[in-house]
Chains A and B, each alone.
Chain A
């Protein structure tokens, strides 16, 4: 059961991050246009954020990993999205007035608004791997399966957002929707932790992938 829940949470994280990335293009367009360099800025920031997130999530997973801490990551990711709902326009206006070149303007604006939530969301994948890994022997298979699930989530997040969500909802409403997904994931992880009333198996440092 726990395994299934970790898989579902990894899928939801993958969904959320790509949905968030696509909305990034929508949010920046009124200030920096939809030129190729705006998308270049967005993709750069998200890739950088994910790389930092993988690194940090891997480090965190070494220290007594459990679903309660996993829930915290989702909770922090949800809170980190809130500034993009409330302050993004103010920040974009500020950067637009400050930096004239839309290449660097969009890069700085994307960094200010999207970097932190994406770093936190990036921490989820390696942490999920750690929670599911039961032996060194199967660690590669577990990691592969988790990448499959979270990348599938990303693919579905991309297509759902670009094909349907933007047609059904406003950008802010979709951001609240992502906030809702992440908050629900946090609640689910925490509830599972409480109900199981025991920590997930903790392994020695040399049996996991991220050390």
Chain B
């Protein structure tokens, strides 16, 4: 009887150790929040604090990270790439961010262009709460947050005849894609919400099987795309414009360049990663509200 208990104890101990190792023991989980959509974990490791959505998959997908020792240094390449949009318009009057994450983009854009009105939209109230508590996201007269589905916000904003000079679409994570935010109709709605010459930038993937479908969908709505491919990660940022003959300006004013350099951006290197080359199958099926199995195609 005693031997059996001892054996069970050993098995439980081994299982506990295995679990601890597989879940990344080097990370310190400093907070865990159960939202109605997902479990959100705040982790810290070697001075980097991240927000991640908990999944059973081994591949971790961080939604937002900040460098605690150098808060001004942007951790993610795609965030750096997205900021190249400032080359198109260094002082957008109204900016719409769909998918808040840690609020890094809102913070940086506010610091670079303090007169810009920035509206951040996220479906999950817990994300907004944690962005404020752990990532220094602050609302003020210029920065506002709305807890809404991005599609609903865009449709309502169109009814209210609002316009934005820059729409940043950052609502995708590797684990689940909101399919109604990757359709021709949605992108057409975003285009209608853009002011003349307004810019859309979308943080998305460059390695998924969805690549062709997603690319042709953007191309159908915006015609000309410029794409930033993150040099080391599987992200890309699609730039598109509500204008004719779009090409992202690859130069910045000296002042803006200085400002972005202070966030750790090497704009020359980043601009080199921007290309208008069509490297996808242009005959791939366009994603629409009628046909949008993005999560099955990825």
The interface residues of chain A lying within 8 Å CB-to-CB of B290 are: 170-172
Q: Residue among A29, A35, A169, A172 with the most chain B CB within 10 A?
A: A29
Q: Are A171 and B37 in contact (CB under 8 A)?
A: no
In the complex, A172→B290 CA distance in Å?
7
A203 within 8 Å of B by Cβ? no
Chain A residues in 8 Å Cβ range of B289: 26, 29-30, 171
Residues of A within 8 A of B186 (CB): 30
Cα–Cα, bound, A36→B149 (Å): 10
Residue B3 lies at the interface, judged by CB distance under 8 Å to chain A: no
| Known contacts A31-B155, A166-B293; A36 and B37 CB within 8 A of each other | yes
B156 and A100 contact, CB distance less than 8 A: yes
Residues on the B chain within 8 Å of A96, using CB: 155, 159
Chain A, 161-175, contact with B by CB distance < 8 Å: what is the 0/1 string?
001001101111000
**Chain B: which residue is nearest A166 at the CB level?**
B293
Q: How far is the CA of A20 from the CA of B36 in the complex (A)?
A: 25
Selected from A26, A29, A167, the residue in CB contact (under 8 A) with B296 is A167
Closest to B149 in A: A33
Which of B37, B149, B159, B291 touches A32 (beta carbons < 8 Å)? B149
Taking the complex as formed, is B148 at the interface, i.e. its CB lies under 8 A from any CB of chain A? yes
B-contact bits for A143-174, CB 8 A (1 contact / 0 none): 00000000000000000000100110111100
Chain A contact residue count (CB 8 A cutoff): 20
Interface status of A1 (Cβ within 8 A of chain B): no
The answer to whether B32 has its CB under 8 Å from any CB of chain A is no
Tell whether, in the assembled complex, residue B123 and residue A35 are in contact, meaning their CB atoms are under 8 Å apart: yes
In contact, B159 and A30 (Cβ under 8 angstroms):
no
Is the Cβ of B155 less than 8 Å from the Cβ of A163?
no
Which residue of the partner chain, among B148, B183, B293, B297, contacts A30 with CB atoms under 8 Å? B183
Contacts of B159 in A (CB 8 A): 96-97
Give the complex CA separation of A102 and B290 in angstroms: 21
Q: How far is the CA of A109 from the CA of B50 in the complex (A)?
A: 39
Tell me if A34 is interfacial: C-beta within 8 Å of chain B: yes
Interface string of B157-183 (1 = CB under 8 A from A): 001000000000000000000111001
B269 part of interface (Cβ distance < 8 Å): no
Known: A33-B123, A100-B156, A166-B291; 5 extra A-B contacts, CB below 8 A, are A29-B180, A29-B289, A31-B151, A166-B296, A167-B296
